[in-house]
A and B are shown apart, each in its own frame.
Chain A
Amino acid sequence: MSKVEAILSQLKDIAANPKKAMDDYKAETGKGAVGVMPIYAPEEMIHATGYLPMGIWGAQGKTISKARTYLPPFACSIMQQVMELQCEGAYDDLAAVLFSVPCDTLKCLSQKWKGTSPVIVFTHPQNRGLEAANTFLVKEYELVKAQLEHYLGVKITNADLERSIAIYNENRAVMREFVKVAADYPQVIDAVSRHAVFKARQFMLKEKHTELVKELIAEVKAMPVQPWTGKKVIVAGILLEPNELLDIFNEFGLAIVDDDLAQESRQIRVDVLDGEEGPLYRMAKAWQQMYGCSVATDTKKGRGKMLMNKMAQTGADAVIIAQMKFCDPEEWDYPVLYREFEERGVKNLMIEVDQEVTSFEQVKTRLQSFVEMM
Chain B
Amino acid sequence: MSLTQGMKAKQLLGYYQNKADQDAREAKERGGLVCWSASVAPPEFCVTMGIAMVYPETHAAGIGARKGAMDMLDVAERKGYNIDCCSYGRVNMGYMECLKEAAITGVKPEVLVNSPAADVPLPDLVITCNNICNTLLKWYENLAVELDIPCIVIDVPFNHTMPIPEYAKAYIADEFRNAISQLEVICGRPFDWKKFQEVKAQTQRSVYQWNRIADFTKYKPSPLNGFDLFNYMALIVACRSLDYAEITFKAFADELEENLKAGIYAFKGAEKTRVQWEGIAVWPHLGHTFKSLKNMGTIMTGSAYPAIWDLTYDANDESLHSMAEAYTRTYINTCLSNKAAVLMDIMEHGKVDGVIYHLNRSCKLMSFLNVETAEVIKEKNGLPYVSFDGDQTDPRVFSPAQYDTRVQALVEMMEANMAAE
Residues of chain A within 8 A (CB-CB) of B142 are: 301, 332, 335-336
- The 8 Å CB contact of B84, one of A102, A122, A331, is A331
Residues of chain A within 8 A (CB-CB) of B155 are: 125-127, 133, 297
CB pair B138–A111 under 8 Å, yes or no, is no
Q: Does B86 contact A (CB under 8 A)?
A: yes
Closest CB-CB distance, B284 to chain A, in whole Å?
Answer: 18
CB pair A136–B167 under 8 Å, yes or no, is yes
Q: How far is the CA of A297 from the CA of B367 in the complex (A)?
A: 23
Q: How far is the CA of A215 from the CA of B155 in the complex (A)?
A: 44
Closest CB-CB distance, A123 to chain B, in whole Å?
Answer: 4
CB pair A125–B157 under 8 Å, yes or no, is yes
Stretch of B32-40, B220-228, B315-323, B358-366 at the chain-chain interface = B358-366
CB pair B80–A105 under 8 Å, yes or no, is no
Q: Does A130 contact B (CB under 8 A)?
A: yes
Interface 1/0s, chain B 80-102, versus A by CB < 8 A? 11101110010001000000000
CB pair B130–A126 under 8 Å, yes or no, is yes
CB pair A130–B160 under 8 Å, yes or no, is no
Closest to B389 in A: A72
Q: Does B146 contact A (CB under 8 A)?
A: yes
Residues of chain A within 8 A (CB-CB) of B174 are: 130, 132
**Given A104-B134, A332-B139, A333-B138, also A74-B361 (CB < 8 A):** yes
Q: How far is the CA of A164 from the CA of B367 in the complex (A)?
A: 39
Q: Does A300 contact B (CB under 8 A)?
A: yes
Residues of chain A within 8 A (CB-CB) of B81 are: 331-332, 334-335
Q: How far is the CA of A335 from the CA of B133 in the complex (A)?
A: 20
Residues of chain A within 8 A (CB-CB) of B23 are: none
Interface 1/0s, chain B 132-153, versus A by CB < 8 A? 0111011111101110001101
CB pair A328–B86 under 8 Å, yes or no, is yes
- The 8 Å CB contact of A123, one of B85, B138, B160, B364, is B160
Interface 1/0s, chain A 66-84, versus B by CB < 8 A? 0001111011000000000
Q: Does B26 contact A (CB under 8 A)?
A: no
Closest to A75 in B: B368
- The 8 Å CB contact of A112, one of B150, B336, B359, B364, is B336
CB pair A297–B137 under 8 Å, yes or no, is yes
Closest CB-CB distance, A308 to chain B, in whole Å?
Answer: 15
Q: Does B165 contact A (CB under 8 A)?
A: yes
Q: How far is the CA of A323 from the CA of B361 in the complex (A)?
A: 19
Q: Does B168 contact A (CB under 8 A)?
A: yes
Residues of chain A within 8 A (CB-CB) of B133 are: 104
Q: Does B341 contact A (CB under 8 A)?
A: no
- The 8 Å CB contact of B372, one of A112, A123, A130, A301, is A112
Closest to A327 in B: B84
**Given A135-B167, A338-B80, also A123-B157 (CB < 8 A):** yes
Looking at A110, A136, A326, which has the most chain B CB atoms within 10 Å of its CB? Answer: A136
Q: How far is the CA of A105 from the CA of B366 in the complex (A)?
A: 10
Closest to B150 in A: A299
Closest CB-CB distance, A193 to chain B, in whole Å?
Answer: 31
Q: Does A101 contact B (CB under 8 A)?
A: yes
Q: Does A145 contact B (CB under 8 A)?
A: no
Residues of chain B within 8 A (CB-CB) of A71 are: 368
Residues of chain B within 8 A (CB-CB) of A310 are: none
Q: Does A108 contact B (CB under 8 A)?
A: yes
CB pair B153–A297 under 8 Å, yes or no, is yes
Residues of chain A within 8 A (CB-CB) of B364 are: 74-75, 104-105, 108, 328
CB pair A132–B175 under 8 Å, yes or no, is yes
Interface 1/0s, chain A 122-142, versus B by CB < 8 A? 111111001011011001100
Closest CB-CB distance, A45 to chain B, in whole Å?
Answer: 17
Q: Does B107 contact A (CB under 8 A)?
A: no
Residues of chain A within 8 A (CB-CB) of B171 are: 125, 127, 130, 132-133, 135-136
Q: Does B178 contact A (CB under 8 A)?
A: yes
Residues of chain A within 8 A (CB-CB) of B93 are: 335
Residues of chain B within 8 A (CB-CB) of A338 are: 79-80
**Given A123-B158, A127-B155, A331-B85, also A69-B369 (CB < 8 A):** no
Q: Does A294 contact B (CB under 8 A)?
A: yes
Q: Does B270 contact A (CB under 8 A)?
A: no
Q: Does B170 contact A (CB under 8 A)?
A: yes
CB pair A299–B153 under 8 Å, yes or no, is yes
Interface 1/0s, chain B 158-179, versus A by CB < 8 A? 1011000101101100110010
Interface 1/0s, chain A 89-122, versus B by CB < 8 A? 0000000000001111101111110000000011
- The 8 Å CB contact of B141, one of A108, A124, A127, A297, is A297
Q: Does B186 contact A (CB under 8 A)?
A: no
Q: Does A23 contact B (CB under 8 A)?
A: no
Closest to A298 in B: B141
Considering only residues 320-371 of chain B, those with a C-beta below 8 Å from chain A are: 335-336, 359, 361, 364-365, 367-369, 371
Closest CB-CB distance, A147 to chain B, in whole Å?
Answer: 10
Closest to A142 in B: B167
Residues of chain B within 8 A (CB-CB) of A70 are: 371-372
Not counting A69-B371, A127-B154, a sample of 13 additional A-B residue pairs whose C-beta atoms are within 8 angstroms of each other reads A74-B361, A101-B158, A104-B364, A133-B171, A295-B134, A298-B141, A299-B145, A299-B153, A301-B142, A331-B85, A332-B81, A334-B80, A336-B146
The 7 closest A-B pairs by CB, nearest first: A108-B368, A332-B138, A132-B174, A335-B80, A121-B160, A123-B157, A299-B151
Residues of B within 8 A of A (CB): 76, 79-82, 84-86, 89, 93, 130, 133-135, 137-142, 144-146, 150-151, 153-155, 157-158, 160-161, 165, 167-168, 170-171, 174-175, 178, 335-336, 359, 361, 364-365, 367-369, 371-372
Residues of A within 8 A of B (CB): 69-72, 74-75, 101-105, 107-112, 121-127, 130, 132-133, 135-136, 139-140, 143, 294-295, 297-301, 323, 326, 328-329, 331-336, 338-339
5 residue pairs from A and B, CB less than 8 Å apart:
A104-B134, A107-B134, A295-B134, A328-B84, A339-B80
